Amino acid sequence: MPMAVQEKRARAESKPTKVQTGSRLFEPYRALGYIASNTPHSIQYRGQSAFVTVGIGRSFHVYDAEKINLIFVGPQFDADVNSLLSIGDETFVSSDGQIIVCKRGKRIGELEQVNRGEINNLMQFGDHIIGISEDNTVVIWDKNNREIFTEIEFQSESFRVTSVVHPSTYVNKIVVGSAQGVMQVWNIQTRKCLYEFKSFGSGITCMVQAPVIDVLALGLLDGRILLHNIKLDRPVMQLAQEGRVTAASFRTDDVPMMATANAEGDVALWDLDKKRLMHVLQGAHDSSIPSIDFLTGQPLLVTSSADNSIKEWLFEGNEGIPRLLRHRSGHFASPQMIRYYGDDGRTILSAGRDRTLRFFSVFRDSQSTEMSQGSLGRESRARRISVNDLRLPQTIQFASNAAKTKDWDDVISCQQGSKAAHTWSVDRKALGKYTFESSDGTVVNAVEISACGNFGLLGLSSGVIEMVNMQSGMSRRTFAGHTKAVTGIQTDSCNLHIYSTSLDGSLRIWDFATGKQLHCIALPSAPSRLVMHGEGGLLACACDDACVRVVDAESLRVVRKFSGHRNRITDLAFSNDGRWIVTGSLDSTIRTWDLPTGHMVDWFRVESVPVSLAFSPSGDFLATAHMDSVGIFLWANRTQFSDVSLRQINPATDGSDEEGAGAALVTMPTSAGLADDSNEQNDAMDVEENSDRGVYLAPEQLTDNMVTLSSLPKSKWQTLLNLATIKKRNMPEKAPRVPEQAPFFLPTVEGVEHRFDLNDDRQNAADSTADGASENSKIISVTSENALTRILYDTQDVLKYEAVFDYLMKLNPSAIDFEIRTLPVDDDLRAIKAFIRATTAQLHSKRNFELTQAYLQVFLNVFGDVIRENAAELESLLKELRKESRAQWNTVDGLIRYSACMVEFMRASK
């Protein structure tokens, strides 16, 4: 083996599989948009209420059937859920070859391990649980002691087990169906095959007990549905549908109806009396339907599908045609672009590869819905095509503005390969009024809405930008100058300028009113994304060379360049305060760049490639969408609830390789939060350990020449200055009323009439008078010295006044005001003089300038008359205080004026 190959293998083997660190800035919070999967659901009844349990990846959800509200979220398992079964309060979940028992969303135990691979088709049989293992064995557990009751093995060549059912009233009997089309009856007590039916000519895909005893419904691979009497071994009825049968169910409300589903998402409804097809719900789902169930005694059909949706269909009348009563759905293909809608950070708009635009609520899942594209179901039935073929092409970019959401459409989108842009209304949750065709017949690649919400901007593949009116739908003007396709458009908050990027490698600035090009900035690489922070006036371009270039909109210069990604940047977003830029890349890393320092301050790696990012307008969450996931993932911003020390991260010194393996592999958020609390705690500990290395702790005073304004929050000293106004505002409008009756604990005299015992009070008063000062006297002796006075006396003797302000800084504004007002004046002004000297010393130290001025103002307001009466005695101290105060203010004023002049000079020098 060559030496280079040996060294490469040795390096690969020496590297840890998972870096034991976590993100400093972001913590997994929760996942949105997970509703159902291709795992068959399970329905359980608690009294009159029904609950639907569905698998979602590595966990499960429990919904109430009445409104499809989420009740419980299961724990996170190590592998995907293959099958599940709900019995009473317990949920049995098959995952990674083991059966896990959960109760009310919490893991409480496991069934005995069988080591036979994955377990599917869990089914209840009295006190037993039956499952089909991957090695073609029917495994039966005792539900009470959770041990294996028995196992029945089959030969895969002659009998491949596909489904199991327990026929009603058959004691210890189960019917097993196979992929060869053969069906057998087994006694689980004796483990003997009692009877074998002849082959039905096609593989059995599902079996369901009919409402009639001895009759089973068999779904076959060729689309036939057989109703077979297993006691007489005679066929009762044969029906046929398009596509293989995936599930079947019977109505139990005295209506002879059966529903069957196929792998194309259709549901067929059969009249069992007339033995004919009543109706086909074509395109009921966009993917295979693994399970359907009629609710017991109700005309409601529950369907769940791999298209990430649950639907309830209501049957009204005798026509047999149901209507969609309620549903819950999410993307059934990964989102490609997500953006927060509005300024409150409560809703997210998402465009996915499933050709839908969806509205997600961050806090209330029941408000999440798909933006309607019209009556596609009715049109699909009329034209006999699928609903998905009628949807708009995949949305590649959209923009929104909530300023005019009640007046007209507030979202505009462009679709892949489409020569038109479409408007949407978030208020109506539907497609809007207008379709804007490109004037030159070229494809629309980018869109944007102005800050006022009145105008929409379309970037064409020809390089032209068109402006349209969102209210009237009329074209306003065009912006011509780019030579290649436009990739991004942004506008400022005042409708003065338009910023655009193109594959020609340029960033151009246009006059909003006239359409003239004002400036053109040539970039070293073609930009693929453009975002803008309006308040900061910064533009960030994601370029094809995996670099982010930040352009100042005022000076029109590239002020920052961030490089480090090892593959193409998929999306980027500014933080709400404009301090950070968060980027996602095909190298599966999410990186955070600090704009003031120009350094990368955080990075972490995820299992799936991030394709889109959005930072909450309130700054509390980062939302991400990933290539292999149908959900939207929320990451909590740690700086919102804890102190985070940031330092520069240099991948070259942190052990990274070409794939970014030096970044922390962070667990993705789940529907119920972090997957494992222990992992969360370990990651948090690792973060703290790693964050302590190389962290620069700023001293209280940087240099002796600088003045520190205040080390406390601004509200501390501002409240102190306005304390009188606050107390007046909070004063009660009415005086407190004296209680009409005395408290219940006063002594009373025995008898029918309720009277207080006054003799006891007189006796106590007499005893107190006789004994002099009683220990229970209510007269409290008040000392004339408060805590501040004692500290002033102590520090005056040693001429070190730091303790005075250290004590005041620990108090709240009301306590500070009280301490200053209660300084004594009958001690030959000793406390007054000490406070003046302490204030002078604090000003001389150049620390907490604003705080010291606030304390001084309160002091002068309280003792101004005392100072005037003793001006001669205090003259020297006051002159020294005024001299020091002016000196420090001149320093602060000079720095402010200097900074203002520098900013004005930089603006004028562009």
**Under a CB-based contact definition with an 8 Å cutoff, are residues 614 and 590 in contact?**
no
Please determine, for residue 66, whether its predicted confidence score (pLDDT) is greater than 70.
Answer: yes
Identify which has the larger pLDDT, 74 or 741: 74
pLDDT for res 375: 80
Which residue from 554, 543, 540 is spatially nearest to 582, judged by alpha carbons? Answer: 540
Which sign does the torsion angle of CA 214, 215, 220, 226 carry?
positive
Query: For 327, which DSSP code?
Result: E
**Under a CB-based contact definition with an 8 Å cutoff, are residues 74 and 45 in contact?**
no
Which residue from 55, 113, 107 is spatially nearest to 84, judged by alpha carbons? Answer: 55
Q: What is the pTM of this model?
A: 0.74
Please determine, for residue 842, whether its predicted confidence score (pLDDT) is greater than 90.
Answer: no
State the pLDDT confidence band at 586, using cuts at 50, 70 and 90.
very high
The pLDDT tens digits for 17-44 are 333 357 889 999 999 999 999 999 999 9
Please determine, for residue 552, whether its predicted confidence score (pLDDT) is greater than 70.
Answer: yes
pLDDT for res 750: 55
pLDDT for res 725: 79
Helix (H) or strand (E) holding 767: helix 758-771
Percent of the chain with pLDDT over 70: 86
The pLDDT tens digits for 665-679 are 888 898 876 544 434
What is the average per-residue pLDDT within 720-749? Answer: 68
Query: For 696, which DSSP code?
Result: P
Percent of the chain with pLDDT over 90: 53
The pLDDT tens digits for 173-206 are 999 999 999 999 999 999 999 999 999 999 999 9
What is the number of residues in the chain? Answer: 910
Query: For 256, which DSSP code?
Result: -
Q: How many CB atoms lie within 10 A of CB 468?
A: 20
Helix (H) or strand (E) holding 185: strand 183-187
**Residue 591 has which token pair?**
């990186």
pLDDT for res 282: 86
**Under a CB-based contact definition with an 8 Å cutoff, are residues 188 and 150 in contact?**
yes
**Of the ranges 121-125, 783-787, 805-809, which one carries the lowest mean pLDDT score?**
783-787
pLDDT for res 116: 87
- Phi, psi at 82, each rounded to 5°: -95, -35
pLDDT for res 770: 45
State the pLDDT confidence band at 482, using cuts at 50, 70 and 90.
very high
CA–CA dist 848, 716 (Å, integer): 12
Please determine, for residue 603, whether its predicted confidence score (pLDDT) is greater than 70.
Answer: yes
pLDDT for res 654: 55
Beta strand 599-605 with 664-665 is parallel
Mean pLDDT for the chain?
84
pLDDT for res 60: 93
Residue 678 vs residues 643, 675, 682, 685: alpha-carbon distances, Å: 22, 9, 6, 11
pLDDT for res 14: 36
pLDDT for res 303: 95
**Residue 507 has which token pair?**
């960033």
β-pair partners for 81: 95
Three-class SS state of 208:
strand
**Residue 308 has which token pair?**
């990430």
β-pair partners for 360: 348
Please determine, for residue 892, whether its predicted confidence score (pLDDT) is greater than 90.
Answer: no
The pLDDT tens digits for 612-651 are 999 999 999 999 999 989 999 999 999 888 888 888 888 7
Which residue from 75, 64, 61 is spatially nearest to 32, judged by alpha carbons? Answer: 61
Which sign does the torsion angle of CA 835, 838, 843, 847 carry?
negative
